[in-house]
Amino acid sequence: MKIAFHIGSSDFNPRWIKYCIANNIPFKEVNCYDGDIIEQLSDCDILMWQHHQSHPKDILFAKQLLFALEQTGKIVFPDFNTAWHFDDKVGQKYLLEAVNGYLAPSWVFYEKDKALSWAKETSYPKVFKLRGGAGSQNVRLVRNKSEAYRLIKKAFGKGFNNFDRWRAFKERFRKYSEGYSPFLDVLKATVRLVIPPAYSKVMGKEFGYIYFQEFIPGNDSDTRIIVIGDKAFALKRMVRKNDFRASGSGSIRYAKSEIDERCVKMAFEINEKLNAQCLAYDFVFDGENKPVLVEISYGFSANAYDKCEGYWNKQMEWCEGAFDPYGWMIEMMIKKD
C-alpha cells in the first residue's frame, strides 16, 4: 500500500505528509501536471490531491484525473461523491434538493424570459450567487426587482467575471483595516486591479444562467460543520460589518457553546446520504430558528481550524482537545485499500 500526493502548494498536503512520516506510512510525491502521471502512479494505490478552485491548472483537469483513476480502481481523495459539486453551487442545488438536504430555497434559470417573469413576481430581497467562488466573493444581496432585472440582463448579456477586481480590492482593504491581513495583501490586490488572476481567465465568463437563493435574514454569522467520515468539527464565522455575508470575513468563533448541535446532527445526516469523504456544511438560521444550508464544499483552509477545541463523533459525543483531521483523511484512505 502506497499513497501518492500531488506536489505543490495546498493546505492539506504538508499535514498529510507529516502524518505519514510520523506513522511510517509509505508515500511518494507525484506531479499531476506531468503528461506521464498515470505511469507515475503505477506503484501507488491511492492518490490524494487537494485541488483548489483558484489554481488555474487544477480547474482544468483535477476532477477529470481523479475520477478517471477512481473509475479504474484507485482510491482517490477527493472522490467523485465528495468533489463533483465542488465550487459549483448550481450542482449543489440539484444534489441537495434530491436528498432533501435542507438547502435554502434556490432558483436557477437558463432562459432569460423565465428569469425575468420570476423576478417580476417574487419577493425581495433575494441572494444572487455565481456558481463558483469562495469567501463570499461572488455572493450579493438583491434588494428589489430592478436590481434583479439588471443582474438577469447581465447574465444573459455580457456575463459576469469570476473575479470582480473592484470588489476584491475593497474586500482586501477591509481585511487590512480591520486587522485581519497585512498591508502586502492590499498591494497584491492593487496589482489585481490591472492583471486579473489566471484562474478567472481559465474559467471565462459566467454566462447563460442565473442563480438566486431565498435571503434568510437576521443572521449575525454562519455555522460551518466539517464532516470527515464519522467525525465532525465546527466553527462560527461572524458576518462583516453592515453586511449579511460571513464566509471569508476573518472573524471566527471556536467555543463549543457557539455551535448549535442541530447543525452537527444535520451535517452527519446529509453526509451519510451523500456518501462523501469530507465536506464542509455552511448553515444559517431561518425565521423559525431552524438550520438552513447555504453551501457545501470539500475544501477548506486548514489553518482556520487549528483552533477548534474538539470534535463530535457520530454518537454526538464531544471529544475535547487537539485532533488531526488530516490524519483522519489518511486513515480513511488506508481503510479502503
Residues 94-123 that bind ligand ADP (CB under 6 A): 104
Q: Does 240 interact with ligand ADP (rule: CB under 6 A)?
A: no
Least distance between Mg ion and beta carbon 49 (Å): 22
| Stretch 242-281 residues interacting with ligand ADP (CB under 6 A) | 244-247
Toward ligand ADP, which CB reaches closer, 69 or 90?
A: 90
Site for ligand ADP, residues 175 to 214, rule: CB under 6 A? 213-214
The DSSP-derived string for 270-290 is HHHHHT-SEEEEEEEE-TTS-
Map the footprint of ligand ADP across residues 295-314, applying CB under 6 A. Answer: 295
Residue 175: CB atoms within 10 A of its CB come to 20
Q: Which does 222 bind (CB under 5 to 8 A by kind): Mg ion, ligand ADP, none?
A: ligand ADP
Rounded-to-integer distance, Cα 228 and Cα 231, Å? 5
Q: How many CB atoms lie within 10 A of CB 275?
A: 10
Show the binding pattern over residues 120-159: x = contacts ligand ADP (CB under 6 A), - = does not: -------x-x---xxxxx-x--------------------
- Helical residues (DSSP H) of the chain, grouped into ranges: 13-22, 37-40, 56-71, 80-83, 89-98, 112-121, 145-155, 165-177, 183-194, 198-203, 261-274, 325-336
Residues that bind Mg ion (CB under 5 A): 247, 282, 295
Ordered DSSP codes for 227-274: EETTEEEEEEEEPPTTSS--TT-S-EE--GGGS-HHHHHHHHHHHHHH
Residue 216 makes contact with ligand ADP by CB under 6 A: yes
Q: Counting contacts by CB under 6 A, is residue 85 touching ligand ADP?
A: no
CB of 100 to ligand ADP, least distance (A): 18
- Smallest distance from Mg ion to CB 297, Å: 7
Identify which of residues 10 and 138 has a Cβ nearer to ligand ADP in the complex: 138
Residues 91 and 19: their CA atoms lie apart, in Å, by 33
- Rounded CA gap, 227 and 220, in Å? 23
**Would you tell me which residues interact with ligand ADP (CB under 6 A)?**
104, 127, 129, 133-137, 139, 213-216, 219, 222, 239, 244-247, 282, 284, 294-295
